[in-house]
């Protein structure tokens, strides 16, 4: 199983804080996950393909594609605005 998290405006837009995908339900890579989730609707497609969208794998931000492994936590969120 992997956990997919959404934060801030994305969580509100998709009305989804967390998705759990069991083994067999999630694809091999981040780019495939983006494609898979984009099919859930226009809002999903917009969020997942926005060039400003940030991605974290197991709580570390990354700009590269990566392989998905059991137990991974993948988060999608808008540019950060703390401080």
Partner 1 sequence: MISIQHEDFDPGLEQAKLSGNTGTGAVVAFTGLVRDENLGDDVGGLYLEHYPGMTEKALQDIIDEAATRWPLQAIKVIHRVGQLFPGDRIVYVGVASAHRKAAFEICEFVMDYLKTRAPFWKRETTAEGERWVDAREADQSAAERW
Site for partner 1, rule CB under 8 A: 5, 7-9, 52, 56, 59-61, 75, 77-83
Residue closer to partner 1 (CB basis): 39 or 81: 81
Pair of tokens at residue 31:
């780019």
Return the bridge partners of 3, or none. Answer: 20, 73
> CB 18 → partner 1: shortest distance, Å?
12
> CB 30 → partner 1: shortest distance, Å?
16
CA–CA separation, 3 and 50 (whole Å): 21
64 Cβ contact partners less than 8 Å away, ≥ 6 residues apart: none
Residue closer to partner 1 (CB basis): 22 or 79: 79
């Amino acid at each position: 199983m992997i956990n997919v998290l959404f934060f801030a405006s994305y969580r509100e837009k998709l009305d989804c804080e967390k998705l759990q995908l069991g083994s067999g339900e999630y694809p091999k890579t981040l780019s495939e996950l983006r494609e898979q989730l984009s099919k859930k609707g226009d809002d999903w497609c917009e969020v997942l393909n926005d060039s400003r969208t940030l991605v974290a794998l197991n709580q570390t931000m990354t700009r590269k594609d990566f392989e998905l492994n059991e137990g991974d936590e993948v988060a999608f969120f808008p540019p950060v605005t703390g401080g």
